Amino acid sequence: MSNLKETLKAHISEDRVVKMTSDMIRIESYPGIPQRETKVAKYIKDIFDAHDIPCELKEVEDGRCNVIAVLDSGNPGKTLMLNGHLDTVPPYGWEEACEPKIVDGILYGRGTCDDKGPTAGLVEAVLALKASGALQKGKVVFTGVIDEEHKSLGTIDVIESGIKADAAIVAERSFFEIRNCQRGLEWLKFTFTGKAVHGGYVHDGINAISKANKFISALEEELAPKIFGRKHPALNEATVNIGVIQGGTQPSTVAGDCEITIDTRYLPYQEYEDVIGEFQELIDKLAAQDPQFKCEMSVCEESVMKEGYVHPPFEIPEDHPLVTMLSDVIEDVTEKETVITYMKSWTDAGLLAKYAGLPVVVLGPGGENPHAAPETVPIADLYNIALVYAMAAVEFCHS
């Protein structure tokens, strides 16, 4: 492996990967920007075109484009997908968010670690593989995707386009830890309907807030203990959280409506339908006990994905060849023992595992404050993660 590392190091440029990251930070790609990610996709395509690496833009929705590149050795072997997303969250008041700067070896800017820095590492890895000729078997497929921060339309399009691979690495901040599992996710809205009347005639009304309170009490007393009681050796437990409650209009009116929204995270051995079904069973039980209890459950608009898709969990065993190979590569590059752990947030890795059937891990550089300010990534991490991605591609495709 040491010969491979030296070969690839000769073709990986720290200056180039930092420039790519900085250039992409300057290209705003958050909600409200016309065709949000497409200018980033075109920027990446221009780089691949300049290095004679076959690449295309693929429109997904309303002019928003994925960018897909394939480096084919021309010889039989395995195919590794390298997946990174092109969108970011907004600046959220951070005035210099899209003005990258370097201070003491740290790059600042929106997307440095989520996800333009990790994605630049993928691009740099593909460039190094092409320049070095190190990829002698199989092929590498780079998928730069839209919409990961919202409905994951980009990765869903990759899946539906029939792009084939034997495994995938999803580039996200992980501090060089291999994230081999993550919880599934759903945001649920519960709408309680009562009868609004003047507060002077309270007994003629039906208080929707009171009905919501009845649901919350039952949830906390009956269902939540079952949810938190489900355990996993890495992910610890399934979870449920009541995040928002809204209801009523004024103190002198019986509340005719109330809504609560809930975040629930479930484990790889659970089925989505069973998770949702438990909440419906609780609603049905309360309705049977109280004829005035009216509640409708729905998926929050922000959480609704394309028809047929949800936010699934994923898990790959620690002894899977993809994991053990990556562990060896990371230790070779960083000279530190590899940590294998879980991904705390949801990523597109869940889609690639469930709907494309791929062995998948999440892996990326370090960094601070994704979705906040100031978002950062160490420059040394950008170089090292590009080297890890490139070495991993050769080791996997040749295996």
Is the pLDDT at 31 greater than 90? The verdict is yes
Provide the sign of the torsion angle of the four alpha carbons 288, 289, 293, 299, taken in this order.
negative
Strand (E) or helix (H) holding 190? strand 184-193
For the segment 342-355, the average pLDDT, to the nearest whole number, is 97
For the segment 203-232, the average pLDDT, to the nearest whole number, is 98
Is the pLDDT at 2 greater than 80? The verdict is no
**Residue 260: pLDDT band with limits 50, 70, 90:** very high
Residue type, 186: E
pTM here is 0.95
Residue type, 9: K
What are the structural domains, with CATH classification, of the chain? 2-182+313-398 (3.40.630.10), 184-303 (3.30.70.360)
Percent of the chain with pLDDT over 70: 100
Which residue is listed with tokens 């839209």? 146
**Residue 381: pLDDT band with limits 50, 70, 90:** very high
Is the pLDDT at 229 greater than 90? The verdict is yes
How does DSSP assign 213-271, residue by residue? HHHHHHIIIIIHHHHHT-EETTTEE-EEEEEEEEE-S-TTB---EEEEEEEEEE-TTS-
Q: How far is Cα 48 from Cα 120, in angstroms, rounded to an integer?
A: 12
70 φ, ψ (degrees, to nearest 5): -130, 125
Tokens of 177: 């830890």
Beta strand 360-363 pairing with 167-171: parallel
Please report the pLDDT score of residue 230 as a whole number.
Answer: 98
For the segment 287-309, the average pLDDT, to the nearest whole number, is 97
For the segment 329-336, the average pLDDT, to the nearest whole number, is 97
Question: Which residues does 397 contact at the CB level (< 8 Å), separation at least 6?
Answer: 73, 77, 78, 79, 80, 135, 137, 138, 139, 140
Tokens of 191: 């709408």
pLDDT averaged over every residue in the chain: 97
Cβ neighbours around 221 below 10 Å, total: 9
**Residue 1: pLDDT band with limits 50, 70, 90:** confident
Please report the pLDDT score of residue 311 as a whole number.
Answer: 98
Is the pLDDT at 157 greater than 80? The verdict is yes
Strand (E) or helix (H) holding 334? helix 321-334
